[in-house]
Amino acid sequence: MITFFPVPYKDELLYSILARYHIRSGNVSIKATQQDIYGTDSITSIMDLPSHINRLMGNLPMGNHYTPDYLITNHTLYPFYAAFLPSEHASTVKESMIGDNGGSIYNRIGLMASSVKFNQYFKFCPKCADEEMSNLGELYWHRIQQIPGVLICPEHNTPLYDSQVPVRGYNKHDYRLAAPESCKICISEKNYSDKIMEKAINITDDVKFLLSNRVASKSLDWFKEQYLNRLKELGFANLNGRIKKKELLCAFLDFYGHELLEKMQSEINNNNNWMNDMLRRNNRTTHPIRHLLFMQFLGISVSDLFNKKIEYKPFGEKPWPCLNPVASHYMSPIITDIELKYGTDSKSPIGIFKCDCGYIYLRTGPDHVEKDRYKKTKIKQFGPIWEDKLKQLTNLRFSLRETARQLGVDPATVKKYAKKLGLQTYWVKRSKIVEKNINTVKQNFPVKKVERYRGEWLNIRKQYPLSSKTELRRLNNRVFTWLYRNDRNWLNRNSPKLKSTVNYNNRVDWKRRDEEIHENVRGAVGDMLSIGKPLRITISSVGSRIGMRPLLEKHLDKLPMTKAFLNEKTEGTKDFQIRRLQWAIQELKEDGQFLSLWRVYRKAGIREAFQNELQEEAIKLIRENNGM
């Protein structure tokens, strides 16, 4: 039994505590120290996940307040690795650390097969070392600083450096103390870019959270489902879970950059696509640092990852509004039943909303803004309330257009459902009477007059056998008009057949179409400018939003009003990036964050390749908003 045990410092490794004991005990031989601690001299000194802790507990001074759980949780790297292990695996690892079965620990955690290798040397922070010498009179090894992938000291946000002490030394039983002579900066000062610093600080903060908080163990399926649902929200996976691998990989590499991923031993290539393994393979354990990298990219906090189940809800939270225009609850949020499908044509989620009134509509998603909840793509079923309203309006002899307006549909739909319900409608009776009057030759016309007009028309056809009906009409409009009004059936039977329907577009009222499309385009641009994160205004993006992209791309010259508006509103790449910078600055100001260049670039999502080009403009905007 040992007569004293060094009081552990904050975040100190158990390895470091035992190294301090070795120095203070006055033992010349490390074997003597091991006999003191474990009762044997054959225990291997392990920096991160030591075992034989029960032996240590049995040799501590009487009356100590330490427990195996306390030492493992607060002075080893167990909490970091166990966070992403299933509960049964984590428990087995802890039992192995307490007992003498330490040889299986690395295999159970998956470290032996991982491409993330151990640090070669103990790491230290120069500022921490200076403060410890001033306040404590000695240095110690911080556990967070020894985790592969941690590049920054969490206390000072400064880079970590390699000491001269190897993690696995020549003597596997030795405990090497942190000391000023072995913790010297042997290379020039590290200068990470703002982007690397920002990402590295965020990763370090997440590691610190895992070491400081007990998180509930989750299965590998839990993490996979969390990530997949978030990928759906971000548009990197469809409703069926099919991942857009190429787009995801490009976005991930653009978010971190090759340099940072290389420093964190997490590059992705054909030989090592760890991200794909993490999302698809249920039997593969992924290194925690890679979970944190992917989590940061997806914008998930550590706390939410473990405690908040992420569900893909492309149409937001229930209840949803009923869009039956004749129901008393029109626009009221009362629908709780929704069926989700994947649109193979639109490549988007489709929601089918069913109201108790029988009205069923579908909408192609996902919703982007609040007003999207009040849109419908198609009506699947109108229901009895709507049909009763149709019967009521027909009984009251409302016109076709007024009936359609009150029912919120087009006249063709009214006709279709009136026929389906067997309704005797006012407008159908009237149209039959008119048709009969038009298509029958009036009895009070003399036979000779009818024959004369028919003969004149046949003579025109004989003279111009290759002319179309329209061309013949122009040759003698008087004869055509009389026959059209009084003998239409005969006229149609004795006129040239339509040669082709290819030229229907020649009869498009482009002026009217221009006015309609101009109004739709103005609304779409207004919506795109009011959405949270900026969307680039281009002819293609506006056309896609109003469902007329081919028309705008191919026939914009026929729409002068629309063309002039789009020429004024569309943006080049640089203009759009500047607008993103302006938006990012406003968002950061509202959040109360300091406006630094790297924060603005990150918020705006400016790629590294464009940052130098935009630097002057970005600095100018930051100075203006900082009041400089």
pLDDT, tens digit, 9 for 90 and up, residues 437-485? 444 554 556 777 888 888 888 888 888 887 888 888 888 888 898 888 8
- pLDDT computed for residue 502 by the predictor: 47
Cβ neighbours of residue 539 closer than 8 Å, sequence gap 6 or more: 552, 553, 556, 566, 570
- 3-class DSSP assignment, residue 582: helix
Distances (CA, A) of 112 to 86, 116, 117: 18, 9, 9
What is the enclosing helix (H) or strand (E) of 625?
helix 608-625
- The per-residue pLDDT for 489 is 87
Residue 385 has phi, psi (to 5 degrees) of: -65, -45
Mean pLDDT by 10 residues, the chain (628 residues): 90 96 92 92 92 94 91 96 92 94 86 87 96 95 96 94 90 92 84 91 96 90 92 89 90 93 89 84 84 95 93 92 94 92 82 94 90 90 93 87 89 90 75 49 65 87 83 86 87 80 59 85 78 82 80 86 88 85 82 79 82 82 72
Residue keyed to tokens 């905007």: 621
pLDDT at residue number 137: 95
Q: How far is the C-alpha of 218 from the C-alpha of 214, rounded, in Å?
A: 12
pLDDT at 577: 84
pLDDT recorded at residue 21: 95
What span, in angstroms and rounded, lies between the C-alpha atoms of 580 and 600?
Answer: 9
Which residue has 């908040």 as its token pair?
308
Residue 279 neighbours by CB under 8 Å, 6+ apart: 224, 227, 228, 243
pLDDT given at position 511: 85
Element (H, E) at 350: strand 348-354
Answering whether pTM is above 0.85, one says no
